[in-house]
Amino acid sequence: MAVQDIMPTWVGATAKQIARGVRRGDVSATQVVADHLDHVATVDSELAAFRAVRGGEAVTEAEKVDEQDDLANLPLAGVPVAVKENTPVAGLPTWNGSAAVRTSVAEADHEVVRRLRGAGAVILGVTRMPELGLWGSTDDETGSTRNPWDLTRTPGGSSGGAAAAVSAGLVPIAHGNDGLGSIRIPAACCGLVGLKPGRGVVPCQLGADDWFGLAEHGMLATTVADAAVGFAILAGRRPETLVPPQRLRVGVSLRSPVVGVQPDAPNRDAVTTAGRLLAAAGHDTLRADPVYPTALGLQGLATWFAAAAVEVQASGVARGSLQRRSRRHIALGDWARRRGYVREADRAAWRDRSIGFFADHGVDLLLTPALAGTPPQADGWSRRSWRSNLLTNVRYAPYAAPWNMAGLPALVVPVGRRPDGLPVAVQLVGPPGSELLLLGVAGQFELAAPWPRHAPGYPRVPAATP
């Protein structure tokens, strides 16, 4: 009996399972996409993960995959993928988080979208983000994107829609981008693997100035293997089998980059759990605290403000049409630029210092908490004050931003659950070129302590087990 005769749906399967099934003829790409579109239609009304779903267009793309004579070289053959709404997809507007900053219909795909399609992926739709990608929660006047683990909580931001979609099984993997934690924060909120590659590994071409070089494209996934395949495709590489790393020295730090903000007990415990997993895998751990200068925080804030100002200036958007929190953010960005507080020399100095950290402490990787606290409530952040948004973001998610400033690769991986049932994760940071090493260590975590691939209650169909 053929596999397609006994499997009711491919929703819930991994990207690698789907691609393998399509390549060997167990299922058509058209059927896989139809299954996922049905699931989106059933579930996304409560999650608001998607800004737009490409129903008919996605089916047509899937049919073209099925018509290809040779699928052997398509690592994502027939895999439904979501793209973050600030990244151009041909035939769709680029929303950038709100109607106020939406651009006209894109005539061509962004390079990372082109690479996904070239690998056989089918673009199911585009996922929601906060206005201009500025915030660690995802909502606007049309609705709040919700965390599948707890619908009262945010899935994080700015790739919040992507994380919600993957966590609920709407797609097996999703594209995101990360300027100050926008892949890793949602991955931590939703129990996913989220990798921010190092600077220059994946073509960015995002907005006016790539957020002064802080932003990178990456993927969110439920398994390390899927994250590795997604990374390879975006980086223009052939996927390769991850090799379990030999004995490493891993620095462990709870130190917060933000003075006065400390991780809560579940996030401290997550680092302890991760340390035990590292030891069980044969690695050595030692205390190694990065020194986060006060000036770094001020430079990071100034760059965050200025990135929004540059983006809006380049787009010609009327500032009065933006959300109140965004207008205040942009005004501060104008001020920071006038005062000369956004300097490439400062970012280069921090990058050199960060790279030197590994040699100075004799460590291969750094382990930190992924978050400092619980993901905030989901409702109404786009209507709240700039100050409220800023303080909430900084307090619950301070650990990601320094590594964007340094341009170093960083990865978030789940390691358990909080007492309230939400997932809890840790962050691994490495020197330039260590993306596969980070994934390899995450794979050791996954093997030793597997995590739930989806939020409880999702997907709401029988799971595929090819």
- DSSP-assigned beta bridge partners for residue 298: none
Alpha-carbon gap, residue 392 to 381, rounded angstroms: 10
Residue 6 has pLDDT above 50, yes or no: no
The pLDDT assigned to 99 comes to 93
The pLDDT assigned to 379 comes to 84
If you search the block for the tokens 């770094």, which residue do you land on?
Answer: 296
Alpha-carbon gap, residue 283 to 441, rounded angstroms: 10
Residue 183 has pLDDT above 80, yes or no: yes
3 pLDDT tier (thresholds 50, 70, 90): very low
Domains of the chain as residue ranges with CATH: 3-448 (3.90.1300.10)
CA distances from 318 to 44, 115, 207, 327, 335 (A): 31, 33, 17, 10, 18
The pLDDT assigned to 462 comes to 58
Alpha-carbon gap, residue 191 to 95, rounded angstroms: 26
Alpha-carbon gap, residue 109 to 94, rounded angstroms: 11
Nearest of 195, 194, 188 to residue 371 by alpha carbon: 188
3-state SS class at 10:
coil
Q: What is the mean pLDDT of the segment spanning 249-253? A: 98
Residue 1 has pLDDT above 80, yes or no: no
The pLDDT assigned to 213 comes to 95
Percent of the chain with pLDDT over 70: 97
What is the CA 96 to chain-centroid distance, rounded? Answer: 16
The pLDDT assigned to 416 comes to 97
Alpha-carbon gap, residue 4 to 136, rounded angstroms: 40
CB atoms within 10 A of CB 328: 17
Q: Are 398 and 388 in contact (CB under 8 A)?
A: no
Q: Are 441 and 379 in contact (CB under 8 A)?
A: no
Q: Mind telling me the catalytic residues?
A: 84, 158, 182
The pLDDT assigned to 460 comes to 85
The pLDDT assigned to 245 comes to 97
Buried b / exposed e across 370-397, counting CB within 10 Å, b at 16+?
Answer: bbbbbbbebbebbebebeebbebbbbbb
Residue 418 has pLDDT above 90, yes or no: yes
CA distances from 101 to 87, 149, 317 (A): 13, 30, 6
Q: How high is the mean pLDDT of the chain? A: 96
* Better-scored residue on pLDDT, 309 or 4: 309
Q: Are 398 and 261 in contact (CB under 8 A)?
A: yes
CB atoms within 10 A of CB 1: 5
